[in-house]
């Protein structure tokens, strides 16, 4: 069973962090786009645990704390010593009036507004608030959340990086790690370039990278992933479907990077789909399994909002894929010539 396989985030942390190759992304449990009943959220987490998933990721942003609070209820049932848990810092939640609630893609959220804060006090406040919401101080990994230009713009990202390195945010992370309050530090972002930049500034253990090393795009192979291998930095791969199109295929309304897919992306996905169809393999299965062939990628974390979606993710993850499919994708120039390929099923 592929799901039982685990990887270590890296070999430098004081405490080894084991990551099941399929993890659980907690954004949907923050009521992303639609409300999920508490009972459904708990049943979804139970389905992941019962299936053997032992890496769970969440964040204060996800439902303005709703996801973390739902995790807390599940963690009270789970053996927390047997799992790896990550959450994020960089957004601090404040009580507010109803009209000041931060407008985002999450619905039915607590009455909170978000403030970006990568300073020493901001990181410490965010960590302490997450401990309170999660009901446990056994947080293994803290990721800087969305410090990239995609969130803040180019100038805004530079400002946030100055907060991080000149106003003590990184020092706070390092202090928490040195005190064994957490085991590892990193960043959870949507671009590999900011990860490469961060590695040039300081020591990081891993990155949660959303959507940038997928069946559709492999630009990080040119510099970033080799650097991760050299520095013993692990990658947690979020968004393996590029926000949808590698799950749906090039259908009408297919989404890429949270927006309608442009024609060049649709064309490439059609070609990927043709090869998968020729080998009687679902595109979504190839997309979920491909990133793990690279030694720097330790786990993939698709989201799920129901127990059925958890079971579907596992079925997709364990779908046998013929080695000839990967060879055909490479020979047709549809994946990077240096991309490692998954082992034969």
Check: CB of residue 52 under 8 Å from CB of residue 79. no
Question: CA-CA distance, 7 to 93, in Å (whole number)?
Answer: 33
Question: What number of other Cβ atoms are within 10 A of residue 42's Cβ?
Answer: 17
Tokens 């947080």, residue located: 139
User: How many helices (H) and strands (E) are present in the chain, helices listed first?
Assistant: 12, 14
Q: List, by residue number, the catalytic residues.
A: 57, 62, 88
CA-CA distance, 100 to 172, in Å (whole number)?
A: 29
Sequence-distant (≥ 6) Cβ neighbours of residue 340 within 8 angstroms: 293, 294, 295
Measured in Å, how far apart are the chain's first and last C-alpha atoms?
11
| Sequence-ordered list of residues with C-beta below 8 angstroms from that of 71, at least 6 positions apart, any chain | 26, 29, 45, 56, 58, 85, 134
Q: What's the number of CA atoms in the CB half-sphere (13 Å) around residue 52?
A: 12
Give the Cα separation of 31 and 222 in Å (integer): 37
How would you classify residue 207: left for phi > 0, otherwise alpha for psi between -120 and 50, otherwise beta?
beta
Question: CA 213 to CA 196: how far, in whole Å?
Answer: 14
Distance between CA 214 and CA 237 in Å, rounded?
A: 9
Using the Cα atoms of residue 237, residue 239, residue 241 and residue 242 in order, give the sign of their dihedral.
Answer: negative
**For residue 179, how many C-alpha atoms fall within 13 Å in the half-sphere facing its CB?**
10
> From CA 193, how far away is CA 183, in angstroms rounded?
24
Tell me if 144 sits within 8 A of 137, measured CB to CB.
no
């Amino acid at each position: 069973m592929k799901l039982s396989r685990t990887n270590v985030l890296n070999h430098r942390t004081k405490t080894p962090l084991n990551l099941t190759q399929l993890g659980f992304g907690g954004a949907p449990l923050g009521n992303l786009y639609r409300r999920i009943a508490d009972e459904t959220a708990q049943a979804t987490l139970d389905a992941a645990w019962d299936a053997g998933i032992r890496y769970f990721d969440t964040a204060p942003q996800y439902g303005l704390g709703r996801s973390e609070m739902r995790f807390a209820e599940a963690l009270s049932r789970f053996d927390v010593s047997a799992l790896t848990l990550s959450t994020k810092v960089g957004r601090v939640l404040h009580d507010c009036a109803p009209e000041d609630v931060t407008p985002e893609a999450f619905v039915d959220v607590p009455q909170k507004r978000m403030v970006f804060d990568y300073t020493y006090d901001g990181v410490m406040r965010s960590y302490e608030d997450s401990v309170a919401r999660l009901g446990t101080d056994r947080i293994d990994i803290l990721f800087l959340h969305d410090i990239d230009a995609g969130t803040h713009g180019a100038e805004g990202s530079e400002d946030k990086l100055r907060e991080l390195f000149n106003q003590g945010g990184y020092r706070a992370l390092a202090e928490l790690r040195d005190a064994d309050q957490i085991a590892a530090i990193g960043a959870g972002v949507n671009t590999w370039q900011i990860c490469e930049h961060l590695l040039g500034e300081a020591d990081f253990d891993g990155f949660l990278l959303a959507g940038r090393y997928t069946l559709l795009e492999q630009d990080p192979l040119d510099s970033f992933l080799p650097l991760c291998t050299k520095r013993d930095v692990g990658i947690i791969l979020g968004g393996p479907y590029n926000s949808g199109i590698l799950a749906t295929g090039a259908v009408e309304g297919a989404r890429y990077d949270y927006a309608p897919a442009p024609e060049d992306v649709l064309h490439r996905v059609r070609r990927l789909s043709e090869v998968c169809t020729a080998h009687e393999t679902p595109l979504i299965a190839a997309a979920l399994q491909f990133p793990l062939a690279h030694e720097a990628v330790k786990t993939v974390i698709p989201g799920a909002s129901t127990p059925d979606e958890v079971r579907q993710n596992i079925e997709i993850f364990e779908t046998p894929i013929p080695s000839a499919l990967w060879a055909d994708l490479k020979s047709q120039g549809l994946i990077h010539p240096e991309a490692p390929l998954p082992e034969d099923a």
